[in-house]
A and B are shown apart, each in its own frame.
Chain A
Amino acid sequence: MPKLNAEILHLLDQSTTTRVVATADEFGQPYAVASPFLHAGPEGELVHLELLEKSATNRNLLRSLWFDKKISVTLTGADGTSYVIQGKPVKAEISGPVFRHHYQQVRALLGDADLAAVWLIEPEEFVNETYTVQKQEEEERFPFSVHLDRLAVETVKR
């Protein structure tokens, strides 16, 4: 399992970071939802708290665990830093101290809420999707992709 880098860990630490978990159903149809409680676990895994047993995401995560399919997590910080992390759900905690801790955490924040499972997701690869980083890479690797007006001078000297 690759280690999450410092930028990702920083993103996961910030309350302003947008966190999205994308899964797929049995037909491969994508389904992306916000995951406000997503955080880094003690062993470098991602931890997604799934509140609803029958949600599409919960069922898709289970399908991924059962049939060894990847899911994707997107993190975007307030400053535009963004990472896409691909990984696999490897464990669903449904009982015991870890579950209880998160159950209490969710209820402390949301009031009368429930918790269906604590999903542990092992990251397999991640991509820095920050626009400025991607833009620079694209322009270096694909110089023909640019629109010419961006390269044009403002005033032509004749």
Chain B
Amino acid sequence: MADAVTKKADQDSLQDVVARYPEVPRLIIIKTDVQRRGVFYTERALGVLDETLHQVTGTHIFGTRDGQIEARPESLLLRDGTSIITTPTPLDQNPYLVDLIDGKLWLVDGGEPIEAVDYWPAPDFYALTSSSGIPMKNIVSARPQRLNIFPYRYCTFWNNGKGCTFCDIVCQLKKGKEELQIPARLNPVEVGEVVGEALREPGRFSAVFLTSGSITSGREPFDDEVDYYIEILGEVGKNFRTKKYPSQIIGTAFNERQLERLYKETGLMSYTADIEVLNEDLFNRHCPGKAEWIGYREWKRRLVAAVDIFGPGRVNTGLVAGIELAKPYGFTSEDVALKRVLEEAEELASQGVGTVFIVWSPRPDTLLGDQKNASLDYYIRLAKGLHDLRVKYRLPIGYDDYRHCGNHPDSDLSRLLPY
């Protein structure tokens, strides 16, 4: 029966899912489906891409679904301010088209215009170079309202071949280094310089975000990673007149001493440690490096411990949603997967830890690159389920919402919440 439901969900059209969930905004369902299927930019659409007006692909820490590094639109904005963070996808994988119709950009599916979109606007600092001559956009990148800092583009879990199965960070590092001349390790002073320049643009940015690959080294494991974050945040913080400023890191699950340092020694206001998949067996399989160095239960325990330091509603974890269904070890039914994931997410929510998801997009340079992600129906039920937990446990998500991230359909739904 469950398999039958999954098969049916696989064949659903966008319209079927929109009709099935009238309480979920059509725009969020569209966003989710575009993330699920990816996009293909037509020549006409690329013809209006203008680097002086629009953001073109920047310092991606992860790769694209078509494996190419080219100057293409960074991503898309819907008319409600929702970002669609997606990557170019080969036509044979049935992506949405982005096309130019009557002078405006549209998402097109099956020949039908679905929804108007805009390219992300280019920030002023993208046109500048740092004092050492590096294009500033290769040091700090942007989302519509967020500054992205990827301090270290390598993950030491790969040293013994234990990188995550869905991740292409190391492959992308090589491409970025060779094709874009992006530094693998950023100079903290230079990061501070670029952030200072970015802040000159009125009304553009509302958050500073950092993430890098895990760095296992140090007196205690990950001390070097924490030291590096503190150094970067210190330089970034020089640009602000307040000690704390809206900011988030996605880091490794640090211990209490490391978390205390991050909170007390920097302006950091929120903390995320992505557990990637909410199931111990699947975590061990898909995240062998995280399993080896920290372990599933300890990862969760550290998330909960972080709430005492950063405060309720300031700590969360992220899922690469869909890998829980990847073959051969994943759940064989979407219904079962959803139930199990939400049960574990609730256990975290009840202790003050939020959960958000990104739609897994299988990329060619990953171990799971030849697999398919989950159905649209599944992702919408997951978004609703995580949003409902946020309501039940009154967990704010202001640091990881459409404005501060834009990559989570579940936190898009939380825009209507008064907290």
Contact A99:B203 (CB < 8 A) given known A59-B415, A62-B416: yes
CB of B204 within 8 A of CB of A92, answer no
Between A and B, 29 residue pairs with Cβ closer than 8 Å are A53-B403, A54-B419, A56-B418, A59-B415, A59-B416, A62-B415, A62-B416, A63-B416, A66-B26, A66-B80, A90-B79, A91-B79, A91-B80, A92-B80, A92-B81, A94-B81, A94-B144, A94-B403, A95-B81, A95-B121, A96-B118, A96-B121, A96-B144, A97-B121, A100-B202, A103-B202, A103-B203, A104-B202, A117-B81
Interface SS of chain B: helix, strand, loop or mixed? Answer: loop
Instruction: Give how many A-B residue pairs fall within 8 Å (CB-CB).
Output: 57
A110 to B202, CA, bound (A): 15
Q: Are A67 and B79 in contact (CB under 8 A)?
A: no
Nearest residue (CB) in B for A104 is: B202
The complex places the Cα of A100 from the Cα of B53 at a distance, in Å, of 13
A4 to B106, CA, bound (A): 27
Bound-state Cα–Cα, A86 to B118, Å:
27
A107 touches B403 (CB 8 A): no
* CB-CB nearest 10 A-B residue pairs: A103-B203, A66-B25, A95-B144, A96-B121, A94-B81, A91-B79, A92-B81, A59-B416, A100-B203, A104-B202
State whether A62 touches B118 (Cβ < 8 A): no
Contact B80 A65, beta carbon cutoff 8 Å = yes
Write out, one digit per residue, whether chain B residues 115-142 have a CB within 8 A of any chain A CB (1) or not (0).
0001011000000000000000000000
Q: Which residue of B lies closest to A97 (CB)?
A: B121
Contact residue among B26, B79, B201, B418 (Cβ-Cβ distance under 8 Å from A100): B201
Chain A interfacial positions (CB closer than 8 Å to B): 26, 53-54, 56, 59, 62-63, 65-67, 90-97, 99-100, 103-104, 107, 115, 117
| Residue B145 at the chain A interface, CB threshold 8 Å | yes
User: Knowing A54-B419, A92-B79 touch, does A107 contact B202 (C-beta < 8 A)?
Assistant: yes
Give, as a whole number of angstroms, the nearest-CB distance from B270 to chain A. Answer: 16
The answer to whether B309 has its CB under 8 Å from any CB of chain A is no
Residue among A56, A66, A100, A103 with most chain B CB within 10 A: A66
The CA-CA distance from A94 to B118 in the complex, in Å, is 12
CA distance A94 to B80 in the complex (A): 9
CB of A87, distance to nearest CB on chain B (Å): 15
Which residue of chain A has its CB nearest to the CB of B146?
Answer: A95
- B77 at the A/B interface (Cβ < 8 Å)? yes
Q: State in angstroms the CA–CA spacing of A92 and B145 once bound together.
A: 14
Check if B203 sits within 8 Å of A104, measured CB to CB. yes
Is residue B14 contacting chain A, with contact meaning CB distance below 8 A? no
B71-91 at interface with A (beta carbon < 8 Å): 77, 79-81
C-alpha gap A145/B337 in the complex (Å): 65
Q: Which residue on chain B has the smallest CB distance to residue A56?
A: B418
B27 at the interface (CB under 8 A from A): yes
A67 pairs with B120, CB closer than 8 A? no
User: In the complex, which of the residues A54, A56, A90, A95 contacts B145, with contact meaning CB atoms closer than 8 Å?
Assistant: A95
Chain B residues within 8 Å of A96, by CB:
118, 121, 144
> Nearest residue in A to B418 (C-beta to C-beta)?
A54
Query: Is the pair A59, B418 in contact by a Cβ cutoff of 8 Å?
Result: yes
Least CB distance, B9 to chain A, in whole angstroms: 23
Other-chain contact of B77, A63, A95, A107 (Cβ < 8 Å) = A95
Contacts of B204 in A (CB 8 A): 95, 100
CB proximity of B309 to chain A, nearest CB, Å? 25
Q: Are B203 and A67 in contact (CB under 8 A)?
A: no
> Complex: how many Å from CA A117 to CA B417?
16
Q: In the complex, which residue of chain A has the Cβ closest to the Cβ of B144?
A: A95
Nearest CB in chain A to that of B54: its residue: A96
Per the bound structure, the CA–CA distance linking A34 and B159 in Å amounts to 60
